[in-house]
Amino acid sequence: MTTSPAQAPTTTDPSPPRPVLLDSAFLRLWTGTTASGLATWALPFVLGLAVLERDLTAGGLGLVLAARTAGFLGAVAVGGVLADRHSRRAVVLWSATAAAVAAPLLAAGLGRSLLLMSGAALLAGAGQGACRPAFQALTAEIVEAGQRQQANAATTLAVRVSTLTGPSLAALLATVLDVRALLLGIGALWLIAALVPGRGGRKPSAGTTADTRTPARASFRQEFLDGVREARRHPWFVAGLGALTAVIATGYSATAVALPLISRDRYGTEVVLAAATTAYTVGALGGALVIARWRPRARGWAALAGLAVYGLAPLSLMLPVHPAVVVAAYAVAGMGIELFNVPWFTATQREVAPEKLARVSSLDFLLSYGLAPLGLALIAPAVDAFGAGPVLLVCALTCFLAPAAAALVPTARRFSPPEDVSRG
């Protein structure tokens, strides 16, 4: 006896998918994405070494990093439109190549021309920003729907491992290579990101709408606004993005500013800073491993709960607790952020119309990461004006309440519309 659509079971994936890293197409994409993530992380660290070697001033470092951020924000929206208008693979190629070209320009300007370094950093940020939505959309083209959560977990796992081991590796390389050579190494990583990934296939995602591709002659502005309209078609996405933006702009920014101060002033040692930062990354690694196979029925609520636990980080800094409690809070926060990130990316790849996926992803990066510098800029004056305790309390409450409010949106329970409950 067959089962009618109305009686379809509401379970998630019936059997575990085979390891996605056995797929050569995804392995190439994963290698390129990992290389781009490592290069993105490495640049501020290597430029910090240049400050230590007096090839760059602290003020110069701030200007160069600000230029990179400006390039990222300026290019991420344009990159999303280009990746939907043209081949996602081509956008990855040219944007990553632009970032690779920026590396030797940074090396040439080091100690000689701050203007050249700032321009190169602007180019590097633009390449980074343009390739992010293209990588997201390319994942949906290359990886089958049932394997995307595992694929996204594998990618974020690689990024976290790079973050954990990168400082030691860079410090080791710095004993035998100068900063200019390290910058050229960053350029080589971007070349890997540009050249290694293969072509995608424009695979349609299950449950997405029919092709409503914007006419090729539409303006960039019109095509970006079409992406905004697509995002608004998914209430869970709008609510989740609002919660993510609030958590990053408050919780992440508060801990970035307050953790070093509290480690020094309350505990009298920088060990707490180092231990909490490491615990966050280790927790994120654990979260990525868990979510690679875990398929909660209420996947949206589970993801938002993971996002909300970031509030434990500012809460632990507000209270006079043992240092071990701070470290544990950061470990839990790191795990929670990955329990959110992986289902979030997977749901976006599944639910958004394939021909608009890059634009919607660019909107995600533009708001969540774009407002982070604003949060960082406002936290320090707020601490000076009101004290660390009240500011950390507001940040903790925001981290708890914003995801809770997002969970009240009807489609947030599964990060999908009600008619999709049979799809898993």
CATH number, domain at 391?
Answer: 1.20.1250.20
Q: Can you give the pLDDT at residue 16?
A: 53
- Residue 258's pLDDT is what? 86
What local confidence, expressed as pLDDT, does residue 160 receive? 86
Looking at the structure, tell me whether residues 244 and 326 fall in a common domain. yes
Q: 416, 207 in Cβ contact below 8 A?
A: yes
Is 96 among the domain residues? yes
Instruction: Please give the tally of structural domains in the chain.
Output: 2
Q: Which two tokens stand for residue 140?
A: 């949906």
Same domain (yes/no): 121, 247:
no
Q: Are residues 191 and 234 in the same domain?
A: no
Residue with token string 């992803």: 361
Is 82 contained in some domain?
yes
Indicate whether 229 and 127 sit together in one domain: no
255 and 399 share a domain? Answer: yes
> Where a domain ends, among 166, 201, 236?
201
pLDDT of residue 89: 94
- State whether 189 and 267 are in the same domain: no
Which residue stretches of the chain have pLDDT < 70? 1-18, 201-217, 419-424
Helix axes 388-407, 235-247, angle to 10 degrees: 170
If asked whether residues 263 and 409 sit together in one domain, one would say yes
Residue 217's pLDDT is 57
Q: State the DSSP code for 216.
A: T
Kindly state whether residue 216 falls inside one of the protein's structural domains. Answer: no
pTM: 0.86
Asked if residue 229 and residue 191 are part of one domain, the reply reads no
Q: Is residue 117 located within the same domain as residue 230?
A: no
Q: What pLDDT shows up at residue 6? A: 39
The reply to whether 326 and 190 lie within a common domain is no
Q: Domain limits at 101? A: 20-146+177-201
Asked if the structure places residue 215 within a domain, the reply is: no
Burial class (CB in 10 A: 0-12, 13-18, 19+), 185: middle
pLDDT of residue 346: 95
Q: What pLDDT is attached to residue 1?
A: 40
N-terminal to C-terminal alpha carbon distance within the chain: 22
Domain annotation covers residue 253: yes
Query: Could you give the C-alpha distances from 83 to 41, 69, 89, 251, in angstroms and in order?
Result: 23, 20, 8, 31
In a domain, 395, yes or no: yes
